[in-house]
Amino acid sequence: MRRRWANRRLGSRVNAHELAVHAVEKAGFRGYVSSWTLTDVQEPLTFTYGDRQVCVADKGYTWLQYFPAGEAYTLTAMYDAAGQVIQWYFDMCREHGIGDDGVPWFYDLYLDILVLPTGEVMVLDEEELEAALVDGIVSAAEYELAWRTARKLLEEIERGHLPAQLEQIREEIAARDHAMMHGESGPAGKNDKAVARKT
């Protein structure tokens, strides 16, 4: 099973980045939020959805990654250099946590949900999950966990609760990031960490 880290999602494509991790308990959310800003990349990363191409990673882009306590998913909200949301991406996971270096991680269960600003919702990588089950990479219980979590999220998305609910804390996270990265006094929480700055 793949273990993914909040600051290693794009491999060698990223030349430089800044990562801050925040402990958050607000607006119905309890857990960690990491803010990953790409300060230099080798080349943009673009995905094709139907007849549309969407750039999700380039210089100045920021990924806010939500790790809700007690839930079997993570959410990555991706923003362009102007601060406009590009997409919300849900990863089903077996579990998630924080490494000794302060960087969040999760065990990927392959199944994903994509939400675009237009309101389009897509379930992705079902075939990868099926193959992982056949190959013994995930157990039957983990397979059921992925689909159970996805169905619950789809209901929340349909009702308009997600990702709108988590967007409510974005402004506070931005203020914390600024205070942490520039060494200023301000709204940074006591458990916040500027855990990685790569140049």
Which residues are within 8 A (CB) of 56 and not within 5 positions of it... i.e. 6 or more apart?
45, 46, 47, 78, 86, 87
CATH class of the region 3-198:
mainly beta
Enter the tokens of residue 5.
């880290």
Note the pLDDT of residue 184.
Answer: 60
In this prediction the pTM is 0.89
Note the pLDDT of residue 61.
Answer: 97
Could you identify the residue written with the tokens 């924080």?
A: 98
Q: pLDDT tens digits, the chain, 199 residues: what are they?
A: 889 999 888 888 999 999 999 999 987 889 999 999 999 999 999 999 888 899 999 999 999 999 999 999 999 999 999 999 999 999 999 999 999 989 999 999 999 999 999 999 999 999 999 999 999 999 999 999 999 999 999 999 999 988 887 877 888 787 777 776 666 644 444 444 545 444 3
Question: Can you spell out the DSSP letters for the chain?
Answer: --EEETT-SSGGGEEEEEEEEEEEEETTEEEEEEEEEEEEESS-EEEEETTEEEEEE-TT-EEEEEEETT-SEEEEEEE-TTS-EEEEEEEEEEEEEE-TTS-EEEEEEEEEEEE-TTS-EEEE-HHHHHHHHHTTSS-HHHHHHHHHHHHHHHHHHHTT-TTHHHHTTHHHHHHHHHHHHTT--SS--TT-EEEEEE-
Q: Fill in the amino acid letter for 155.
A: E
Note the pLDDT of residue 149.
Answer: 98
